[in-house]
Structure 1
Amino acid sequence: MSFQYQSLAQHISQKIYHGELTVGQRLSSLRQFAEQHEVSLNTAKSCYELLEAQGLIYVKAKAGYFVKAPSDQGRIIAQPEHLDFAAEAKEVSNLELQIEIHEASISHELIHLGSIQLSPNLIPIDALRRSIQRALKHSKPEDFLYSDRQGHVKLREALSAHWAEDGIFIAKDEIYISNGCMPALSTVIQNLTDVGDSIIIPTPNYNGQLQLLATLKRKILEIPAHADGFDIDRLEQAMRDSSSKVCLLTANFQNPLGFCLSHAEKEKIAKLAAKYQCFVIEDDIYAECAYSLKRPLPIQYWDHEGYVIYCGSVSKSLSPSYRLGWFCLPSRLKHLRAKILTQNVAVNTPLQLGLADLIYSRAYREHLNQLKPKLMKQVEQYRQFIMQTFEGIEIRINQPQGGYALWIQMPEQIDSLKMYRYAQQQSINIVPGLVFGEDQRYNNCIRLNAGHELSDDIKHAIQLLANWAKTQL
């Protein structure tokens, strides 16, 4: 599913390439464009911002938007292709390699193209500081004692109110605060499955989740994912025919492909979960990194039977250093509450209160509104620069609808693990594709982080990767 502004941008770009819109021609104003296409002003603005990032239009102060001469830098980029394969339960291999790559991806000594994280320049540091100071100033004596293992009630109330603004209604009593998204997933997985059980998961999929499942000694049952999502019929087949009673899914801006499932697909998944009594652990960590102003709804929105466990964190939308995440237990799983509370490690109270203040002060909402257009423009700059730098090599790059993970598919003879080793020697951080699934299906792919500004150092690093790839051909 493409967002409306992306479809409109593609339509206009085709007109530019075909000469229907000429160089220097003035485009409709944002308001006129919105009226012509019966869309909101925000959708029109997002469309023009994407075209500007692609180098197809430019803006003149107080004059409007104009068509720019199309160049190779602004050409339409092909989406990655992915193989079809039969689902088969198996263990996650190469755990040691998974751990090595994960540790390297967060190294501060290497150029940040590995771990998916925001540049410090995109983090509202001053607002965070003010919120923590206010939270400490207004804290109560009991806030300095052992904290509630479910999480401070102020943060749970703040999250519940924050989500309600986006049409997601989860009561504070269903929310459990954790030390990040991965601990949340770990707690839920351990309470719904046993060692040796298999979990349905679309691949290519975030390597950190695969590493977690390997550490917990759970098997995976892979179904094919692609640039637009994954085959819901294959998901149903796996739910129906396998012994797996849990699946781990990201519906909004999945890492590494960046797709966003449609409302109809999400609703169908919720119904399938109830039909086959197969729990869906929904990792919605990137939802607030949408390029459109409106946050997409999660699968949980359509869950009426209590088979979806909603998980998330602020590590991708705010800061990974906060280590604040959550999971939401539906009433069907309330019998697990006592056991979960004994397993859930208490979270730093001042940070919980600081985040609650950030939400209630509206500073978090303001940060998100400012972040979204910056991310869209920055990610597109990366895509265009990578395409330009790898000229002469037939590569394909995903077009994320949110988030800032880039998935690059290269010719089959290019070994992503060898590229990873070469990059390390050059003090560059990347993640090779083979750790995003089994059977080395994605060994000619790499994932790059586009969360940092496209600086000269990062451009140089991408150029080195392109030069190395050319030597392999």
Structure 2
Amino acid sequence: MAARYITISDTIISDVDNGVLVIDQRMPSLRQFTQLHDVSMTTANNCYQRLLDLGWLHVKPQIGYFITQPLNKQSTPSYPQFNAQISKPKISQSIEQGLRGPFYTAQLPAELLPQETLSRCLRRASLRAGTALFAYPDYQGDIELRTALAGHFTQQHFPLKADKLVITNGCMDAVRSAIEITTSPGDTIAVSSPCFSGLLNLLQNMGRSVIELPCYKAQLDLDQLEALLQAKRIAACLFSANHINPQGFCLSNQQKQSIAELALRYQVPVIEDDIYLELSYSNTTPLPIKYWDKSGWVLWCSSVSKTIAAGYRLGWCEPGRFFDAYLQLRNVQFFGVNNIVQHTVCEFINTGHYAKHLKKLTTTLASHARQYHSVLRELLPEKTKISVAEGGMVIWLQLENMNSKTVLHEALKQNVPFRAGSEFTTLEYYQNCLRLNIGWPIVANEKETAEKQAQALALRAKLVILCELINANVAVK
């Protein structure tokens, strides 16, 4: 039997679908809700939180809860279907670090990071480690950290073994090592399209070619993938499956399982970049492709760069059957990862702070997604298509007559940089698309400090400027 809060929230969802409750209608306060439904405050909180997570409610600070329409009910971007072909990656346009701004890089503002807690964990970790901090690190990674990570993901129904993990300097570093041990310069690697520009830049830098596979209707074209595998045209695959950058959606479990089975059948490695795995807007963390890998052909890579702090530069890889080669490469080239960072993250996980932080962070990002959707829907043409992310921290925007490169040229003059759609492909697609980071809030919360309120309002003003530039670009067409 379903919990009381689930039954009540399902009834509310049904009432919205049937027109009994209407969009923007104000809901009762939590105290009023407990009286109306004869439930405890805990049940009322759980009910409203579930409706918030599913997108049926939004909060106006200091005012109350209001009915809203889930993002998946709105117009979303369309993706091209095409025949996969070998192409050469090209380095995308680079913007200086100091000019990148909050919309450009998928990153959180410092105020959303658990700075004080991390500082305490660092101090405790330093005392606990003692003189071990001054020794060369274990090139596989600290055993206590690997054990903590294995336990953490096993609790999320993704069982891992500590002795199979290798600690790296971030996710991109983990991916780079995986590419290096499974392929050679000149080899061709299959990627989904659109593909994160950082991965394309990495492949170009490493001298690899790519074959882009269409990814539309939240599905990767596995028929083309199998045909390429049969023809032995690719040396490896490089995929993300959860909260994919830039689209934001997850591949289905069926597709993930199929990819793992194809890897085994054709004995071709699949490198999985799963950096956004834990940023699900719901309370459920999705499973990676690696979960269905029973033969070790999937090399699973991730990090804490998007969840704790990008500056920590700490990630990991579970390289499967390639473990020995992977570990040997790390030993020869990298000599381990900073000891104090490893011990700090280990402390953060083992004390339970990481799990608490993730729950708070994902709720905040889900709220940010609604904020950005609301503003973009209000200010951009009706035909604008906006991605419906299930997690992560980016939005993919598409408008038929827009040239995002031209908009970016004008936006840089206004100090409002973003990622143009053409950066996410080696082909001639996505000229009418762009990607925005939603890590920063754009709605002022009256409970926050005056400084934070001012920051949110200033960022919203920048988003308004960007929308004006987009509108001007479309009007010229």
Among candidates 83, 86, 89, match of residue 89 of structure 1: 86
Amino acid in the other structure paired with 2:386: I
Q: How many residues align?
A: 447
2:181 alignment counterpart: 191
1:407 aligns with 2:391: no
Cα displacement string for residues 257-305 of structure 1 (whole angstroms, at most 9, x for unaligned residues): 0111222221111111101111111111101111122211111111101
2:102·2:440 contact (CA, 8 Å) conserved in 1?
yes
Code of the residue aligned with 1:87 in structure 2: it is A
Cα deviation for residue 14 of structure 1 reads 8.6
Q: How many angstroms does 1:47 deviate by?
A: 2.9
Counterpart of 1:138 in structure 2 is: 128
Distance 1:51 1:264 in 2: 25
Are the counterparts in 1 of residues 137 and 335 from structure 2 also a CA contact under 8 Å? no
Deviations 1:216-235 (A, max 9, x none): 01011101113523233333
Q: Tell me, yes or no, if the aligned pair for 1:176 and 1:326 is still in contact at 8 Å.
A: yes
Alpha-carbon deviation of 1:52? 5.6
CA distance in 2, matches of 1:192, 1:108: 35
Whether 2:389 is the aligned partner of 1:396: answer no
* 1:156-175 map, 5 Å: 156-175=146-165
1:456 maps to amino acid: L
Structure 2 CA distance for aligned equivalents of residues 344 and 365 of structure 1: 30
Q: Shift of the alpha carbon at 1:54?
A: 5.3
Distance 2:347 2:464 in 1: 43
State the match for 2:434 in structure 1.
Answer: 446
1:461 aligns with 2:462: yes
8 Å contact kept, 1:257–1:406: yes
Measured after TM superposition, the shift of residue 76 of structure 1 is: 4.3
Asked if 1:20 is matched to 2:16, the reply is: no
Secondary structure (helix, strand or coil) at the match of 1:202 reads: strand
Q: Judging changes above 3 Å, is the alpha-carbon distance between structure 1 residues 354 and 66 closer, same or farther for their aligned structure 2 residues?
A: closer
Q: Which has the higher contact order (CA 8 A, sep 6+)?
A: 1
Question: What is the alpha-carbon distance in structure 2 between the residues aligned to residue 333 and residue 75 of structure 1?
Answer: 40
Residues 149-228 of structure 1 mapped to structure 2, 5 A cutoff: 149-226=139-216, 228=218
- Verify the 8 A CA contact 2:387 2:397 in the aligned structure 1: yes
Q: CA deviation at 1:357?
A: 0.5
C-alpha change, 1:17 and 1:331, in structure 2 (3 Å) is closer
The residue correspondences of 1:194-343 to structure 2 (distance < 5 A) are: 194-226=184-216, 228-331=218-321, 333-343=323-333
Q: Distance in 2 between matches of 1:401 and 1:231?
A: 20
- 2:411 corresponding residue in structure 1: 423
Alpha-carbon deviation of 1:115? 0.2
Name the CA distance, whole Å, in 1 between partners of 2:179 and 2:371: 38
Residues 202 and 151 (structure 1), Cα distance of their counterparts in 2 relative to 1, 3 Å cut: same
**1:104-115 aligned within 5 A:** 104=96, 107-115=97-105
SS at match of 2:81: coil
Q: Distance in 1 between matches of 2:58 and 2:81?
A: 31
SS in 1 for 2:271: strand
Identical counterparts, % of pairs: 29
CA drift at 1:344? 3.2
Q: Distance in 1 between matches of 2:98 and 2:422?
A: 23
| Deviation of 1:45 (Å) | 2.9
**Could you tell me how far apart the structure 1 residues matched to 2:71 and 2:153 are?**
37
Alignment deviations for residues 393-422 of structure 1 (CA, whole Å, 9 cap, x no partner):
5210001001111000012x3211111111
SS of residue matched to 1:287: coil
User: Could you list the runs of 5+ residues in structure 1 that have no partner in the other structure?
Assistant: 36-40
Task: Tell me, yes or no, if structure 1 residue 386 matches structure 2 residue 372.
Answer: no
CA contact (8 A) 2:48 2:57 kept: no
In the alignment, structure 2 segments of 5+ residues that lack a partner are 40-44, 443-455
Q: How far apart are the structure 1 equivalents of 2:148 and 2:53?
A: 32
